[in-house]
Structure 1
Amino acid sequence: MTEEFAGKVAIVTGAGSGIGAAVAKLLVAGGAKVVVADLNEEHAKSVAAALGDAAKPFTLDVGDPAAVEALVAFAVDTFGALHLAVNNAGIGGASAPTGEYAIEDWHKVIQINLNSVFYGLRYEIPAILKSGGGAIVNMASILGTNGFANAPAYVAAKHGVVGLTKNAAVEYSAQGVRVNSVGPGFIRTPLIDEVIEEDEAEQALIAKHPIGRLGRPEEVAELTVFLLSDRASFITGSYHLVDGAYSAV
């Protein structure tokens, strides 16, 4: 990869593993300075250490708006600016039909998977504007447009992320801030590994993808980093699938 992100500063949430870690790695390879943000302090430190001086860890709960504000301030204080952000952190949540879904489970998923994206945008956008513009990618899901039995909170949150992305793009694209969302299929990450404890469950998920396998974090990261780059300069307000044809069936 060329140094296309030289001089750029990025935040990646949920960067202690999976897709977030893969995104952080590509950004650093492209010359960016990256804040590796994660709820798990050990994971954030480990990923940042592996990436060298260009990466710094930050531990937070993305469901806490004050913590997200502090994250953005840390990036600016540490590296002098903010140009790029990937709001990637998320959880799967409880599994139950809508008519039986626990209220507390609903609130938890909405807080982490939707409200946190708003908190990110709320504090990232002003900082990016002050830095002269940049780009944001919000991690949605194939379930940003589809339903999935027994996951009402997750589906609602990811639909919300797609809508929030479009709205922010309409508001800020003319000011030099592009905002897009990515819709991964089922990707081999720690989050998915928690779901597919049995081989039968794994095969059922694979069967939903005509490509015949689950995705890899690096495949989502490649698309995400492209959208952050100047190569995607006319792309904003869009929702981009990386799902092995899951949504084409």
Structure 2
Amino acid sequence: MRFEGKTIVITGGSSGIGRGTVDLFLREGAEVVMGDINADEGSAMMSTLGDSFHFQKCDVSQEEDVKALMDYAAESTGGLDVVFNNAGAGGPRDAIDEISGNDWDFAMALLLKSVAMGIRHSAPHLKKRGGGAIINTASVCAFQAGFGPVAYSTAKAGVLHLTKLSAAELAQYNIRVNAICPGFIQTNIFAATVGANKEEALQINSVLGQAAAGAQPVSRPGVPGDIAEAVAYFASDAAGFVTGTHLLVDGGLLVGTQSSWDPEAPGMLDAILPEHLR
């Protein structure tokens, strides 16, 4: 019960990583306030998760919605201790030489501005509490090409830098700010990016699960609970001396090329040198 007596705001908590985090914090004794654009699922969760769960519809790309969520959380529970800025989607998939300005602006509002405003409008409530923790969802896409669309990846890189800057500015108020960088996590974000229906989403998740064994050292896909545990660490007193950094939760995806961890994979020299020189 690490979070008994604490109020946690989680955005994008109706599915995937967010839902896994909602469940963990409820198990650990917190009052959880979820903001999500999916009002139907939010209402359904209200009826099943008990009195410690609260829901308010929130479009995180709209500043007034984000402010209203933070104000509601503080007013309805008596204060605010932890914020998990998690809501997002894959966004536009266009390449840089094809994407429109409007699509770019949409991705930045959904994935970067939302985090900035989550920090902006939760900070006054955290100050009143004497401090707290903010955790932002970034991504392995922030580090190199090939893991996501250009707009999504750029926004997630922005989240990492925003995390550092915010940590520096808010340290004087005993507010810690950190980021989580998920790798391949079995959620519907990949299916939603391509507009898949429920049946197609199940197939996509199955394929991703099988592909994970060959894509990273840890031979299983990540699950929402893996990320939830990392969020709980940053939110807890155990991370009281940790701020302005990030945690990769990626099964080792970024440790190096496949030849660095798979003894059966050819190395770079194997690929370019004649056999008699290897």
Alignment TM-score > 0.5, same fold: yes
SS in 1 for 2:34: strand
2:231 to 195, 212, 224: 224
The TM-score normalised by the length of structure 1 is 0.93
SS in 2 for 1:248: coil
| Structure 1: gaps (5+ residues) | none
1:183 corresponds in structure 2 to 181
* 2:106 equivalent to 1:108: yes
Any residues of structure 2 matched to 1:1-249 within 5 Å, and which? 3-148=1-146, 151-194=149-192, 195=194, 197=200, 202=208, 207-249=214-256
Q: 1:75 to 1:149 in 2, by over 3 A?
A: closer
Q: 1:149 to 1:236 in 2, by over 3 A?
A: closer
Letter in 2 for 1:119: M
CA distance in 1: counterparts of 2:94 and 2:148, whole angstroms:
4
> Which shows bigger deviation, 120-129 or 202-211?
202-211
Letter in 2 for 1:81: G
Q: 1:110 to 1:201 in 2, by over 3 A?
A: farther
SS in 1 for 2:9: strand
Give how far 1:150 is off: 6.5
Give how far 1:112 is off: 0.3
SS in 2 for 1:93: coil
Q: 1:130 to 1:193 in 2, by over 3 A?
A: same
Q: Which has the larger radius of gyration?
A: 2
> Which shows bigger deviation, 184-193 or 200-209?
200-209
CA distance in 2: counterparts of 1:98 and 1:239, whole angstroms:
27
Letter in 1 for 2:32: V
Give how far 1:47 is off: 2.8
CA distance in 1: counterparts of 2:241 and 2:93, whole angstroms:
39
> Which shows bigger deviation, 13-22 or 192-201?
192-201
Aligned length in residues: 247
2:264 corresponds in structure 1 to none
> Which shows bigger deviation, 83-92 or 95-104?
95-104
Give how far 1:206 is off: 5.5
> Which shows bigger deviation, 21-30 or 147-156?
147-156
Q: 1:245 to 1:91 in 2, by over 3 A?
A: same
Letter in 2 for 1:154: Y
Give how far 1:186 is off: 1.6
Query: Is this contact kept in 1: 2:4–2:29, CA < 8 A?
Result: yes
| Structure 2: gaps (5+ residues) | 257-278
Letter in 2 for 1:211: V
Q: 1:189 to 1:150 in 2, by over 3 A?
A: closer
> Which shows bigger deviation, 196-205 or 160-169?
196-205
Q: 1:214 to 1:46 in 2, by over 3 A?
A: same
What RMSD, in angstroms, separates the aligned Cα atoms of the two structures?
A: 1.8
> Which shows bigger deviation, 101-110 or 16-25?
101-110
SS in 2 for 1:98: coil
